[in-house]
């Protein structure tokens, strides 16, 4: 994991000396379209970050600068928004993000077994990425499927109720599809 | 076609059991969008009064009258310019999964309800603020909006008065605090989701400084039916003092965890024993959070209470979202409260000190209890802390909400807290170490990827 996050001079500090990474034409068009939903372009900041993340998997300093440019903001303003929301990734993640719900209903129904098994299986703590760079494990607050607890989200798909073995199988399937 | 009197579950009638979506043509075949037509033929003021008379209480948790909420918006005559109606679809209360069901199953019902609300509030722009993880809802709502626009149901000149409406879907990027309406408004403006000081209330100065009303998904879904079938029909749906139906959900160790639409005022016992099928074999019910993670525990002595706003409030809790989380006799109440406090401490926006520092402080005391190093005086400390983070001391309702399960657990399950102190361990076998090792438990560390973090973690270590 640590080798993957060496983009910043200091951990947790953004590096605005980084070269701007231009947005693609499609990204610019998408962001422009989203900004047209609001009387102020800045309102589209979160959605702009999501547009970039959809393509890159995460949002680099250079892309933060590019978004700031397009929306008429400073990079720090954009970054203050990007770092607030847990679904915007400011560091590289694996090809599939596996988010394990750790809120109350899933806790009661046994999320700890899911978490322990999968961390051991991928040999990484929550927040880490598997050695092959395929899977990033994250905790997530309540996914809104408490009737299917314990649950997890793989990519954009929510699955539950899961046994540790089922989660392992789904993770392996995601890994297979990616590579 | 059914007569109005036959319709007992209006909100879920069109939701299919196979999980597929109700399309525009299916929706229209079952009186869909007729209510909007009826509403648009009325004046906004008459429509608002109709909803006020229906006494439709907000289904997002607070239970505030929807009609009254719109009536507090500053009138266009005095404050000309844009006005906004926002649908709060940021369902993130732990244990709550009711709005997802409505949006996945019958998105047009929400679009129609939203349009009716917007017309009553004289707003020509409406936003649906949807939580990040509801990908299926996002896809289906996007389709529903574009289908309704293409069919000319939503758009320009919807009635003789030239009323026009634009509806936009905003998909969020996480954080529980977005559900607080002024935090939601900041988020919709593309900012950090930090609640605003009130007053001014959003009805006076909300989104982009303009008059704004924020309504929950389930609240809005009631509107087409109220307009279509009338106030008397709506009143007759409820069992007790409240009107209409309610989506109730149950999660925890029951045989059939799910969500159902039932008459508002159905008893807790019926919901748990009949609809949820009772507890799983081998476990017994000890208590329940009636309406999400931020409501006070009630116990088995409260099973015969009606699940409505007034009755549950009188018993010392809140009906909240109406989705219950059950505590069974093999689950540690201290551990359950710790899990909730971990959530609230993590999700604090960090703006005000009682929440930013108080919740991590409480979390540490609870971790100590769970890992067997708690002291007898910890119980008093926890109670005292509930006061510090209570209503009136904080910027918004997050921390007071977090105090609710804690203060009531101390009241009803005090012997469990004491046992943790006396036995120097969790009697239920939870290893407290789990909560002390930053890398084995999510809440005890910064979210390592997003950079969002829990500011007070270090400051509050005790």
Q: Do B102 and B209 reside in the same domain of the chain?
A: yes
Chain B residues inside the 8 Å CB shell of A109: 251-253
Count of beta carbons in the 10 Å neighbourhood of residue B78: 7
CB contact under 8 A, A87 and B347: no
Chain A contacts of B439, Cβ < 8 Å? 125-127
Same domain, yes or no: B155 and B139: yes
Flag if B252 and A136 touch (Cβ within 8 Å). Answer: no
Q: What is the CATH number of the domain that holds B362?
A: 1.20.1440.230
Q: What is the DSSP string of B102-167?
A: HHHH-HHHHHHHHHHHHHHTT-SEEEEEE-TT-HHHHHHHHHHHHHHHHTTSSSS--STT----EE
B451 and A CB contact within 8 Å? yes
> Tell me, what's the pLDDT at B449?
59
* Nearest residue of B to residue A154, measured between CA atoms: B133
For residue B429, the model assigns a pLDDT of 87
Domain that includes residue B296, residue range: 245-328
- Higher-pLDDT residue of B13 and A11 is B13
pLDDT tens sequence across A61-104: 999 999 999 999 999 999 999 999 999 999 999 999 999 999 99
Residues B81 and B220 in one domain: yes
Residues B336, A149: C-beta atoms closer than 8 Å? no
Q: Are residues B79 and B215 in the same domain?
A: yes
Residue A13 pLDDT grade (very low, low, confident, very high; cuts 50, 70, 90): low
Q: Kindly determine whether residue A102 and residue B94, on different chains, have CB atoms separated by under 8 Å.
A: no
Say which of B97, B340, B434 has its CB closest to residue A104: B340
Residues B285 and B164 in one domain: no
Total number of domains in chain B: 3
CA angle B400–B405–B409, rounded 5-degree value: 135
pTM (2 d.p.): 0.93
How close, in Å, is residue A174 to chain B by CA atoms?
18
Low-confidence ranges of chain B (pLDDT < 50): 1, 432-448, 451-462
Contacts of B422 (CB under 8 A, 6+ apart): none
Instruction: For domain A2-82, give the fold.
Output: Arc Repressor Mutant, subunit A (1.10.10)
Chain B residue closest to A57 (CA)? B449
A140: left (phi over 0), alpha (psi -120 to 50) or beta: beta
With contact defined as beta carbons under 8 Å apart, do B216 and B88 qualify?
A: yes
Assess if residue B456 is contained within a domain: no
pLDDT for residue B4: 74
Across the range A147-174, mean pLDDT stands at 96
Q: Measured between alpha carbons, how far is A55 from A52 in angstroms, rounded to an integer? A: 5
Give this complex's ipTM.
0.92
* Cα B416 from Cα B370, distance rounded (Å): 11
CATH of the domain at B261: 3.10.20.600
Determine the residue among B195, B271, B339, B448 to mutate to test chain A binding: the one whose Cβ has the most chain A Cβ atoms within 10 Å. Answer: B448
Residues B131 and B223 both lie in one domain: yes
List where CATH 3.40.30.10 sits in chain A: 96-178
Collect all residues of chain B within an 8 Å Cβ-Cβ radius of residue A39: 82, 208
User: Chain B residue with minimal CA distance to A48?
Assistant: B190
Same-domain pairing of B209 and B101: yes
Which CATH number applies to A96-178?
A: 3.40.30.10
Q: Is the pLDDT of residue A1 over 50?
A: no
How confident is the model at residue A12, as a pLDDT? 57
Q: Rounded to an integer, what distance in angstroms lies between the CA atom of residue B338 and that of residue B113?
A: 38
- For A42, nearest residue in chain B (alpha carbons): B190
Listed residues B203, B237, B271: the one ending a domain: B237
Confidence of residue A8 (pLDDT cuts 50, 70, 90): very low
Q: What is the mean pLDDT of chain A?
A: 91
B266 with B367, same domain: the answer is no
Q: How far is A26 from chain B (nearest CA, A)?
A: 19
């Amino acid at each position: 994991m640590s080798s993957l996050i060496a983009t910043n001079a200091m951990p947790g500090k953004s590096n605005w000396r980084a070269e701007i990474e231009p947005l693609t034409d499609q990204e610019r068009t998408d962001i422009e379209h989203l900004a047209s939903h609001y009387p102020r372009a800045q309102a589209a900041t979160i959605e702009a970050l999501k547009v970039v993340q959809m393509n890159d998997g995460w949002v680099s300093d250079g892309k933060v600068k590019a978004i700031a440019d397009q929306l008429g903001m400073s990079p720090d303003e954009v970054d203050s928004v990007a770092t607030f929301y847990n679904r915007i990734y400011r560091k590289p993640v694996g090809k599939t993000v596996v988010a394990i719900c750790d809120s109350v209903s899933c806790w009661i129904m046994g999320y700890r077994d899911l978490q322990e098994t999968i961390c051991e299986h991928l040999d990484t703590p929550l927040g880490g990425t598997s050695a092959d760079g395929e899977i990033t494990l994250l905790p997530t607050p309540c996914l809104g499927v408490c009737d299917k607890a314990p649950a997890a989200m793989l990519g954009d798909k929510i699955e539950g109720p899961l046994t540790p073995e089922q989660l392992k199988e789904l993770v392996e399937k995601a890994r297979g599809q990616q590579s | 076609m059914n007569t109005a009197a036959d319709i007992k579950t209006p909100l879920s009638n069109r939701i299919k059991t196979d999980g597929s979506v109700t399309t525009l043509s299916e929706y229209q075949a079952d009186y869909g969008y007729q209510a909007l037509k009826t509403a648009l033929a009325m004046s906004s003021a008459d429509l608002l009064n109709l909803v006020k008379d229906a006494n439709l209480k907000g289904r997002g948790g607070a239970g505030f009258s929807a009609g009254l909420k719109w009536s507090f918006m500053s009138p266009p005559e005095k404050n000309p310019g844009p006005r906004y109606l926002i649908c709060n679809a940021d369902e993130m209360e732990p244990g709550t999964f009711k709005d997802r069901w409505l949006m996945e199953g019958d998105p047009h019902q929400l679009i129609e309800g939203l349009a009716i609300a917007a017309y009553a509030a004289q707003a020509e722009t409406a936003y649906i603020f949807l939580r990040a993880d509801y990908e299926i809802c996002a896809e289906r709502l996007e389709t529903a909006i574009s289908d309704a626009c293409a069919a000319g149901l939503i758009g320009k000149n919807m009635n003789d008065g030239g009323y026009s409406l634009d509806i936009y879907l905003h998909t969020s990027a996480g954080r529980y605090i977005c559900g607080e309406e002024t935090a939601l408004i900041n988020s919709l403006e593309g900012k950090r989701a930090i609640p605003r000081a009130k007053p001014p209330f959003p009805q006076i100065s909300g989104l982009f400084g303009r008059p704004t009303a924020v309504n929950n998904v389930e609240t809005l879904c009631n509107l087409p039916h109220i307009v279509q079938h009338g106030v008397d029909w709506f009143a007759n749906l409820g069992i007790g003092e409240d009107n209409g139906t309610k989506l109730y959900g149950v999660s925890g160790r029951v045989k059939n965890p799910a969500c159902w639409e039932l008459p508002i005022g159905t008893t807790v016992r019926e919901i748990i024993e009949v609809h949820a099928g009772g507890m799983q074999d081998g476990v017994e019910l000890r208590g329940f959070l009636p309406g999400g993670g931020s409501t006070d525990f009630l116990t088995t002595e409260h099973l015969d209470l009606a699940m409505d706003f007034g009755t549950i409030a009188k018993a010392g809790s809140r009906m909240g979202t109406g989705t219950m989380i059950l505590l069974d006799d093999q689950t540690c109440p201290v551990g359950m409260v710790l899990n909730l406090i971990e959530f609230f401490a993590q999700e604090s926006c960090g703006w005000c000190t009682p929440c930013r520092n108080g919740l991590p402080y409480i979390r540490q005391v609870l971790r100590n209890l769970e890992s067997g190093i708690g002291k007898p005086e910890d119980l008093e400390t926890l109670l005292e802390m509930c006061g510090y983070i209570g209503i009136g001391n904080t910027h918004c309702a997050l921390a007071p909400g977090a105090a609710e399960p804690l203060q009531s657990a101390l009241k009803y399950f005090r012997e469990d807290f004491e046992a943790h102190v006396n036995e120097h361990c969790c009697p239920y076998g939870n290893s407290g170490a789990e909560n002390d090792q930053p890398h084995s438990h999510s809440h005890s560390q910064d979210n390592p990827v997003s950079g969002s973090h829990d500011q007070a973690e270090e400051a509050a270590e005790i």
